Amino acid sequence: MTHFDAATAAVEAALAAGARYADARVMHRRYESMSARNGEVEALDQDEDAGIGVRALVGSGWGFYAVPDLSDAAARGAGTAAATIAAASAQVPGPGIDLVPAAARTGSWASRCEIDPLSVSLSDKGDLLVSATAAMRDHGADHAEGLYQIWDTRKWFVSSEGHRIDQHIRESGGGISATAIGDGETQRRSYPSYRGDYGTRGWELVAGLDLVAHAPRIADEARALLTAPRCPTGTTTVIIGGEQLALQIHESVGHAIELDRILGWEAAFAGTSWLDIAKLGSLRYGSELMNITIDPTIPGALGSFGYDDEGTPAAPRDAVRDGIWVGVLAGRDSAAGAGLDYGGSVRADGWARIPMVRMTNVGLRPGPHSLDEMIAATDDGIYMDLNRSWSIDDKRLNFQFGCEIGWEVKGGKLGRMLRNPTYTGIGPQFWQSMDMLSAEIRPWGTPNCGKGQPGQVGHTGHPAAPARFTNVRVGVRG
Amino acid sequence: MTEQSEQLQLAEQVLDLVRAEAGGPIEAAVSVDHQALALTRFANSYIHQNVADATTKVRLLIHADGRTAAGSTTRTSSDGLQGLVSRTVAASRVAPRDPGWPGLAPAEPLAGSGNLDDTTMGATPADRAGRIRSFVDAAGGLEVAGYCRTLHWMGAFANTAGQAVTGATTDAAMDGIARLRSADGVFDGVARLAAVSLSDVDGAVLGARAAAKARAGNDPVELPPGRYEVVLEPAAVADVLQNFAIFGFNGKAYAERRSFAVLGEDQLDPLITLIDDPLNPGDLGLPFDGEGTPTGRHILVDAGRTNSVTFDRRTAAQAGEGAQSTGHYGAAEARFGPCATSMRIETEATGPVSEVDGPVLDSAAAELVANVMRGVLVSDFWYTRVLDPKSLVITGLTRNGVWLIEHGEVTRPLTNFRFTQAYPAALAPGRVLGVGARPTPQPNGWGAARWTAPALHLASWNFTGGASG
Q: Are residues B426 and B287 part of one domain? A: yes
Question: What are residue B25's phi and psi, to 5 degrees?
Answer: -60, 135
pLDDT in tens, B64-120: 999 999 999 999 999 999 999 999 999 999 888 888 899 999 999 999 999 999 999
Answer whether A267 sits within 8 Å of B145, measured CB to CB.
Answer: yes
Q: Are residues B32 and B167 part of one domain? A: yes
Please indicate, yes or no, if residue B287 is contained in any of the structural domains. Answer: yes
Question: Under DSSP, is residue B469 helix (H, G, I), strand (E, B) or coil?
Answer: coil
Which among B50, B396, B416 has the least Cβ separation from residue A61?
B50
The one-character DSSP state at B247 is I
Q: Which residue of B has its CA nearest to A333?
A: B48
Residue ending a domain, choose from B215, B243, B271 = B215
Give the pLDDT confidence score for residue B469 in this predicted structure: 56
CATH, residue B168: 3.30.2290.10
In angstroms, the separation between the Cα of residue A463 and the nearest Cα of chain B is 24
Question: Residues 333..352 of B with a Cβ closer than 8 Å to A: which?
Answer: 334-335
Contacts 24+ apart (CB under 8 A), B77-81: B80/A48, B80/A50, B81/B10, B81/B13, B81/B14, B81/B17
Q: Which residue of B has its CA nearest to A265?
A: B43
∠ CA B234-B240-B243, nearest 5°, is: 140
Which among A127, A186, A392 has the least Cβ separation from residue B258?
A186
In angstroms, the separation between the Cα of residue A464 and the nearest Cα of chain B is 23
Give the pLDDT confidence score for residue B187 in this predicted structure: 96
In angstroms, the separation between the Cα of residue A325 and the nearest Cα of chain B is 21
For chain B, the distance separating the N- and C-terminal CA atoms, rounded to the nearest angstrom, is 53
Q: Are residues B243 and B128 part of one domain? A: no
Residue A214 contacts B, CB cutoff 8 Å: no
Answer whether A48 sits within 8 Å of B75, measured CB to CB.
Answer: yes
Answer whether A91 sits within 8 Å of B130, measured CB to CB.
Answer: yes
Q: Are residues B150 and B297 part of one domain? A: no
In angstroms, the separation between the Cα of residue B435 and the nearest Cα of chain A is 24
In angstroms, rounded to a whole number, what is the distance separating the alpha carbons of residues A91 and A147?
47
Q: Are residues B283 and B184 part of one domain? A: no
Residue B204 contacts A, CB cutoff 8 Å: no
- What range does the domain containing B430 cover? 226-465
Answer whether A61 sits within 8 Å of B47, measured CB to CB.
Answer: yes
Answer whether B75 sits within 8 Å of A68, measured CB to CB.
Answer: yes
Q: Alpha helices of A339-477 — where are they, by DSSP H? A: 371-376, 427-432
Q: Are residues B140 and B23 part of one domain? A: yes
Average pLDDT, chain B: 94
Answer whether A478 sits within 8 Å of B69, measured CB to CB.
Answer: no
In angstroms, rounded to a whole number, what is the distance separating the alpha carbons of residues B168 and A365?
52
| Sequence-distant (≥ 6) Cβ neighbours of residue A296 within 8 angstroms | A303, A304, A305, A308, A314, A315, A316, A344, A345, A360, A361
Answer whether B94 sits within 8 Å of A422, measured CB to CB.
Answer: no
Min mean pLDDT across A325-329, A395-399, B323-327, B463-467 is at B463-467
Q: Which of A248, A230, A232, A294 is nearest to A433 (CA)?
A: A248
Give the pLDDT confidence score for residue B468 in this predicted structure: 66
Q: Which of B155, B157, B167 is nearest to B61 (CA)?
A: B157
Answer whether A41 sits within 8 Å of B175, measured CB to CB.
Answer: no
Instruction: Give how far Cα A248 sits from Cα of A221, A234, A399, B104, Å.
Output: 23, 20, 9, 44
Q: Which residue of A has its CA nearest to B419?
A: A478
- Count CA atoms closer than 13 A to A112's CA, side-chain side: 11
Answer whether A43 sits within 8 Å of B334, measured CB to CB.
Answer: yes
In angstroms, the separation between the Cα of residue B424 and the nearest Cα of chain A is 12
Question: Residues 399..418 of A with a Cβ closer than 8 Å to B: which?
Answer: 400, 402
| Disruptive mutation site among A45, A71, A145, A401 for chain B (greatest number of B CBs within 10 Å) | A45
Please indicate, yes or no, if residue B220 is contained in any of the structural domains. Answer: no
Question: Under DSSP, is residue B4 helix (H, G, I), strand (E, B) or coil?
Answer: helix
Residue A62 contacts B, CB cutoff 8 Å: yes
- List per-residue pLDDT tens for chain A, 478 residues long: 899 999 999 999 999 999 999 999 999 999 999 999 999 988 899 999 999 999 999 988 899 999 999 999 999 999 999 999 999 999 999 998 899 999 999 999 999 999 999 999 999 999 999 999 999 999 999 999 999 999 999 999 999 999 999 999 999 999 999 999 998 889 999 999 988 999 999 999 999 999 999 999 999 999 999 999 999 999 999 999 999 999 999 999 999 999 999 999 999 999 999 999 999 999 999 999 999 999 999 999 999 999 999 999 999 999 999 999 999 999 999 999 999 999 999 999 999 999 999 999 999 999 999 999 999 999 999 999 999 999 999 999 999 999 999 999 999 999 999 999 999 999 999 999 999 999 999 999 999 999 999 999 999 999 999 999 999 999 987 6
In angstroms, rounded to a whole number, what is the distance separating the alpha carbons of residues A428 and A426?
6
Please indicate, yes or no, if residue B419 is contained in any of the structural domains. Answer: yes
> How many domains is chain B partitioned into structurally?
2
Q: How many CB atoms lie within 10 A of CB B460?
A: 17
H or E element that contains A74: helix A72-88
Residue B469 contacts A, CB cutoff 8 Å: yes
Strand ranges in B328-391 using DSSP code E only, listed in sequence order: 342-345, 374-388
Please indicate, yes or no, if residue B42 is contained in any of the structural domains. Answer: yes
Domains of chain A and CATH, by start: 3-225 (3.30.2290.10), 234-474 (no CATH)
The residues facing A149 across adjacent strands are A33, A173
How are beta strands A422-426 and A398-410 bridged, if at all?
A: antiparallel
The one-character DSSP state at A250 is I
Question: Under DSSP, is residue B82 helix (H, G, I), strand (E, B) or coil?
Answer: helix
Residue A96 contacts B, CB cutoff 8 Å: no
Residue A219 contacts B, CB cutoff 8 Å: no
Which among B49, B50, B56 has the least Cβ separation from residue A88?
B50
Residue A46 contacts B, CB cutoff 8 Å: yes
Question: Residues 66..85 of A with a Cβ closer than 8 Å to B: which?
Answer: 66-68, 81, 84-85
Question: Under DSSP, is residue A476 helix (H, G, I), strand (E, B) or coil?
Answer: coil
Whether the predicted pLDDT of B349 surpasses 90: no
A197 neighbors A176 (Cβ within 8 angstroms): no
B404 neighbors B414 (Cβ within 8 angstroms): yes
Q: Are residues B256 and B203 part of one domain? A: no
Answer whether A45 sits within 8 Å of B39, measured CB to CB.
Answer: no
Which among B44, B95, B385 has the least Cβ separation from residue A122?
B95
Q: Which residue of B has its CA nearest to A29?
A: B73
Q: Which of B32, B113, B11 is nearest to B331 (CA)?
A: B32
Q: Are residues B179 and B306 part of one domain? A: no
Q: Are residues B460 and B326 part of one domain? A: yes
Question: Residues 318..347 of A with a Cβ closer than 8 Å to B: which?
Answer: none
Residue ending a domain, choose from B215, B249, B283 = B215
Answer whether B391 sits within 8 Å of A184, measured CB to CB.
Answer: yes
Answer whether A62 sits within 8 Å of B49, measured CB to CB.
Answer: yes
In angstroms, rounded to a whole number, what is the distance separating the alpha carbons of residues B302 and B285?
23
In angstroms, rounded to a whole number, what is the distance separating the alpha carbons of residues A187 and A402?
12
Answer whether A424 sits within 8 Å of B136, measured CB to CB.
Answer: no
pLDDT in tens, B203-233: 999 999 999 999 999 999 999 999 999 999 9
Please indicate, yes or no, if residue B221 is contained in any of the structural domains. Answer: no
For A216, counting Cβ atoms within 10 Å of its Cβ (0-12 exposed, 13-18 middle, 19+ buried), the class is: middle
In angstroms, rounded to a whole number, what is the distance separating the alpha carbons of residues A450 and B203?
27
| Disruptive mutation site among A89, A176, A195, A476 for chain B (greatest number of B CBs within 10 Å) | A89
The residues facing A79 across adjacent strands are none
H or E element that contains B373: none
Q: Which residue of B has its CA nearest to A402?
A: B387
Question: Residues 161..190 of B with a Cβ closer than 8 Å to A: which?
Answer: 175-177, 179, 186, 188
Please indicate, yes or no, if residue B23 is contained in any of the structural domains. Answer: yes
The predicted complex's ipTM stands at 0.95
Answer whether B56 sits within 8 Å of A68, measured CB to CB.
Answer: yes
In angstroms, the separation between the Cα of residue A298 and the nearest Cα of chain B is 30
| Sequence-distant (≥ 6) Cβ neighbours of residue A434 within 8 angstroms | A286, A287, A289, A290, A467, A468, A469
Answer whether B49 sits within 8 Å of A391, measured CB to CB.
Answer: no
Instruction: Give how far Cα B319 sits from Cα of B308, B311, B341, Å.
Output: 12, 9, 20
Q: Which positions in chain B touch A266 (Cβ < 8 Å)?
A: 43
Give the pLDDT confidence score for residue B334 in this predicted structure: 67
Which among B40, B149, B418 has the least Cβ separation from residue A400?
B418
Q: Are residues B36 and B116 part of one domain? A: yes
Whether the predicted pLDDT of B260 surpasses 60: yes
Residue ending a domain, choose from B215, B241, B267 = B215
The residues facing B190 across adjacent strands are B177
Answer whether A95 sits within 8 Å of B57, measured CB to CB.
Answer: no
Q: Are residues B211 and B231 part of one domain? A: no
Q: Which positions in chain A touch B257 (Cβ < 8 Å)?
A: 142, 181
Instruction: Give how far Cα B186 sits from Cα of A269, A273, A294, A432, B399, Å.
Output: 15, 12, 29, 25, 12
Q: What is the DSSP string of A164-233?
A: EEEEEEEEEEEEEEEEEE-SS-EEEEEESSTT-EEESS-HHHHHHH-HHHHHHHHHHHHHHHTTSPBPPP
| Disruptive mutation site among A37, A48, A471 for chain B (greatest number of B CBs within 10 Å) | A48
Please indicate, yes or no, if residue B265 is contained in any of the structural domains. Answer: yes
Q: Which residue of A has its CA nearest to B315?
A: A42
Whether the predicted pLDDT of B329 surpasses 80: yes
For A124, counting Cβ atoms within 10 Å of its Cβ (0-12 exposed, 13-18 middle, 19+ buried), the class is: exposed
The residues facing A380 across adjacent strands are A410
Residue B20 contacts A, CB cutoff 8 Å: no
Answer whether A265 sits within 8 Å of B256, measured CB to CB.
Answer: no
Give the pLDDT confidence score for residue B124 in this predicted structure: 96
Please indicate, yes or no, if residue B348 is contained in any of the structural domains. Answer: yes
Whether the predicted pLDDT of B1 surpasses 60: no
Which among A68, A88, A267 has the least Cβ separation from residue B177?
A267
Answer whether B145 sits within 8 Å of A264, measured CB to CB.
Answer: yes
The residues facing A462 across adjacent strands are A444
H or E element that contains A134: helix A122-138
Q: Are residues B241 and B207 part of one domain? A: no
